[in-house]
Structure formats: structure tokens, C-alpha cells
Amino acid sequence: DVLRTLEAGGYTLTIIDTQGQDSHATRGAMAAADLSLVPVRPSEADIRASQPTAAALSEMGKRFAFVINQAQPSPRARLTGAVSLRLSTSHQVAPVAIAARMDHPYAYALGQGVTEYDPTGKAAGEIAGLWMWCRKQIGETSNASQKKRRA
């Protein structure tokens, strides 16, 4: 098992990005996770499409949170707030929404993440905010000076 090998090698954090479909691999990742993030666009179709994943995680007794993704960057975009409120009535929603910013496709085209592409940009700030929230959720308090390995 890859996760056991990583743990035996001293790795303390593993991030697994799965496909957006129900599969053996996705279920295995969900079962192994300390925290799962379920991305959902601020739309009725995405809310409905995310429900089987939320149900599966709930049935497994796993911690998870929805992440509003590809939100309108305008602070006046009420749809994002409405979707967040609707989801939060039954499940946890990460307090940081990821906006549909041009830094995402530009960074992707260069094989980078937004924090590499423009470390001081708004997109990088949103990702950093989400990461800080995730660290608090899983109790990850290590920093670059500690000698822990990551996969």
C-alpha cells in the first residue's frame, strides 16, 4: 500500500487529487483521508452532483468540507454566498471560496500552481487561505523548518 510506504518513510502529509467520479480509487482515497475537500461550483447542478460524494463520505464517517470553486470574483456576487449558505445547513463549507481568476489557466498552461505563477496575486491568496484553514482542520502545525517529509 502506497500510503503505508509513505508513512514508514517519514511522510506526514499526503494530498490525493481524485477524479470527480465514483470509483474504487476514489473510495479508497476517501477512506484513507483525514479531511476530504469536495469542490462545488456555485450552481444548482453542481450542488446536486456533489450530493452522492457527500453521502458517501458521511456514510464512511469521514470529515469533509465543500469548497466553493470557480466563484465569481466580484464581492457583489450573491450567488456564491447563497450556495455557501445552502450547503452549510447540512455540511461544513470551507470559509475561503476559490474565484474564477485568470491566474488559474495561465499557471496551468505553464505547468505551475497559482502560488508559483503570481505569489502575491489574489488567486494565490485564496489558495493560501484555504491551505491555512485545512491545516487547522487536520492539526497540521509543521512549518518549513521542521524535518517532516511530504508526498
Domains delineated in the chain: 35-142 (3.40.50.300)
Query: In this structure, are strands 11-13 and 36-40 parallel, antiparallel, or unpaired?
Result: unpaired
> Cell 470527480 belongs to which residue?
20
pLDDT at 146 over 60: no
Contact status, residue 146 vs residue 112, Cβ threshold 8 Å: no
115 or 90: which leads in pLDDT: 115
Check pLDDT > 60 for residue 144. Answer: no
pLDDT, the chain, mean = 86
3-state DSSP assignment of residue 1: coil
Q: Quick check: 63 pLDDT over 90?
A: yes
Query: By the 8 A CB rule, do 38 and 67 touch?
Result: yes
Three cell numbers at 53?
A: 460524494
Statement: residue 145 has pLDDT above 50: no
Note the helical H segments in the chain: 2-8, 24-32, 44-60, 78-88, 103-109, 114-117, 122-138
Higher pLDDT residue, 131 or 150?
Answer: 131
Q: Is the pLDDT of residue 140 over 80?
A: no
